[in-house]
Amino acid sequence: MSAMVNARSAPLRADALSGVRRRRVLAFCVDITLVALLTAILWTVLLVLTLGLSALLLPPLLPIVAFFYNGLTVSGPGMGTPGMRAFDIEMRMAETGARVPFINAAAQALFFYLSWCFPLAFVVTLFDAEKRFLHDLLAQVVVVRRL
């Protein structure tokens, strides 16, 4: 892990990690509400369009929506989900500080939702110097205060 910190092209600002964990929790509350709302709308539209025939195929819709929601919003120009932007944080590549590509952003979301099956995975952030969670380490990203 220290190799990733040393490989960064520009060092983090002194306040870049200040309050990041708390802001991430609050941003998650906003984002999961938006994902649930988007999923409900999409589920209803698909249910109506298929005259109810798709009801059995729609339960995995929430993780699919969450995957694309995170991937598209974090890799976009705002460099964060609407919840992240509301709480003044953004996601960057850990090694370079560059914008996160779609695949890393979507993978980070996938790892995040899988980590709920293993709650001890969240303890990693207490020992990481950059306050990164295990899913951040796996996706090679870091969440910082907006520059």
pLDDT at 26: 96
3-state secondary structure (DSSP) of residue 21: helix
How far apart, in Å, are the Cα atoms of 19 and each of 92, 134, 146? Answer: 17, 18, 12
pLDDT at 95: 86
pLDDT at 10: 55
Domain boundaries, the chain: 2-8+15-145
pLDDT at 13: 66
- For residue 74, give the nearest of 63, 83, 65 by alpha carbon: 83
pLDDT at 59: 79
Residue ranges, the chain, pLDDT below 70: 1-14
Model pLDDT for residues 34-67, shown as the tens digit of each residue: 999 999 999 999 989 988 888 887 778 888 999 9
Q: Give the bridge partners for 89, in sequence order.
A: 145
pTM of the model: 0.81
Q: Please classify residue 105 by burial: count the beta carbons closer than 10 Å to its beta carbon, then call 0-12 exposed, 13-18 middle and 19+ buried.
A: buried
Specify the length of the chain in residues: 147
